[in-house]
Structure 1
Amino acid sequence: MTTHTHTTTATAASVYQQLRGHLAELKLADAAEALPSVLDQASAEGWSLTQALERLLRVEVTATDARRLAGRHRFANLPTGATLADFDLDAASGIDRSLLAELGTCRYLETATNVLLIGPPGVGKTHIATGLGHAAVHAGYRVYFTSAADLAARCHRAAIEGKWSTMMRFFAGPTLLIIDELGYLPLPGEAASALFQVINQRYLKTSIVITTNRPVGAWGEVLGDTTVAAAMLDRLLHRSVVVTLDGASYRLRNHHAAADELRRVTTGTNPR
């Protein structure tokens, strides 16, 4: 090896280390890790400097997007991986494909429109609400899922601990707040006020999805305060999509299907 070749090799190695150092200093860890393979591919395929830089930065952008998506998923607190695509529209009653597809675009979030999903237990309300949550998370929005009972309990605890304003800011933050199972459990007296304040501070600013087994006319009974219920509904319904689902329970259908399959496998007979 000549002195010139040795010097050139040493210079290239030094520049490479400097480049790795720059990427690390800028906290571009994924690009730094991908640098050797990108440089090898660029050399093998004759990429231009622009092509090599684009590929290197694409690695970092892709990794950053994945981390942000994972962070939004963690924050969202969604109970299952249920998506709108998983929802069995053929077995559902009360919602049409075009409406579900429109909600799946998340355009309702741009106008701070609320979605009320009303129907008896087991017809798929929570599935749809969760699916809307996943769609919004993937679209880049901040989402938070809570049951009505848990929201009331957290607000009550915050009031006792002197953290009421902090809790209100928390529930005001997400672009989409999903409140599940309103009306399934009796709520304590102060819950109606807490729920109203959460809804009021989000009014015309951000969207709420609510699932409930009670028609809106019975919310005064659910909340134990007809005045608060009327004020709450006034805000929720001002800009809203109301979906009333009925029909056989999803869970019962799944249970019967599983039982029929088990009977078929174990006895060799077809279910009636």
Structure 2
Amino acid sequence: MDKRQEMIEMCKELRLPSIQAFIQEDDMWKQHQTAEDFLYHALVQEMQDREVRAKANRIRSANFPEKKLLTELETERLPQNAASRLPQLKKLDFIQEKQNVLLIGSPGTGKTHIAIGLGIEACLSGYKVYFTTVSSLVNQLKESRSERTLRSFELKFEKYDLVIIDELGYISFDKEGAELLFTHLSLRAGRASTIVTSNLSFDRWEEIFHDPVLTAALTDRLTHRAYMVDMVGPSYRILDTKEWLENSQL
């Protein structure tokens, strides 16, 4: 076995796929004459490829239900307050400052799209992100409690740089679910960022939690130093349906 083939085998053993590909490519092998030059370019390639894989892994691990990019948003159709706040949110300073983002308003106005888009941007910027719906999170919390793994779940939940909790307001909770959700959101208050989307204004959150004291405490923790984004406006989906019906009649 010559040295080149031996290096390829070592790369396989060390799990260095980019350097392995670099060595296997004849043009690269011939182009870089000195060992120092060759090694430098091989390491640069490995670093770049690892960063690409790391970004893809963060996005995959974030549990997004679908890929929605901020660049795909039709900003002219967003509610005015959302359109004006989006440029600032795109900078992701709120994650660095451990601030929350609350997207509150009508169904179909782009709340989930903005939340996922910000989450993907955060993944690409090196942050650890987790996406969940409220109903899924409450079910996970209840299962963890019954299986006596709640503390392990808490520790994992606290370590995310950004947690996105979608669809607050679509279902109400029993006492156990409300208390578990309150406790876990409180764990992140002032320590890490959370994005919450809801179709209900704050004065209606008691309909979800059925406890005025708990509702007031949770609202206070979530809104402290938070970005409040008013998402009240006409539904994207209804507008799209109207346009489709009009076009189909032509």
- Residue 91 of structure 2 aligns with which residue? 105
Aligned to 1:261, the other structure's residue is in SS state helix
**Gap runs ≥5 in structure 1:** 1-12, 265-272
Number of aligned residues: 250
**Gap runs ≥5 in structure 2:** none
* Post-superposition offset of 1:26: 2.9
- Whose relative contact order is higher, 1 or 2, with alpha carbons under 8 Å and at least 6 apart? 2
* Post-superposition offset of 1:17: 3.3
Aligned to 2:76, the other structure's residue is in SS state coil
Structure 1's 51 and 90: CA in aligned 2 closer, same or farther, altered over 3 A? same
* Conserved? CA contact 2:134–2:168, under 8 Å: yes
Q: How does 1:1-272 map to 2 (within 5 A)?
A: 14-37=2-25, 40-41=27-28, 43=30, 45=31, 48-264=34-250
Equivalent position amino acid for 2:79 in 1: S
* Conserved? CA contact 1:192–1:229, under 8 Å: no
Bigger shift: residues 98-107 or 127-136: 98-107
* Conserved? CA contact 1:143–1:176, under 8 Å: yes
* Post-superposition offset of 1:96: 4.8
* Post-superposition offset of 1:146: 0.7
Equivalent position amino acid for 1:41 in 2: M
Bigger shift: residues 167-176 or 45-54: 45-54
* Post-superposition offset of 1:33: 2.6
Deviations 1:182-225 (A, max 9, x none): 01112222121111111111111110000001111222222111
TM-score (norm 2): 0.92
Aligned to 1:146, the other structure's residue is in SS state strand
Larger radius of gyration: 1
* Post-superposition offset of 1:98: 4.8
Structure 1's 261 and 50: CA in aligned 2 closer, same or farther, altered over 3 A? farther
Structure 1's 33 and 119: CA in aligned 2 closer, same or farther, altered over 3 A? same
Deviations 1:40-66 (A, max 9, x none): 3352x4655443223212322232222
User: In structure 2, what is the Cα distance between the partners aligned to 1:142 and 1:60?
Assistant: 22
Identity of aligned residues (%): 31
* Post-superposition offset of 1:130: 1.0
Equivalent position amino acid for 2:78 in 1: A
* Post-superposition offset of 1:19: 2.8
* Conserved? CA contact 2:104–2:230, under 8 Å: yes
| Aligned-CA RMSD value | 1.9
TM-score (norm 1): 0.85
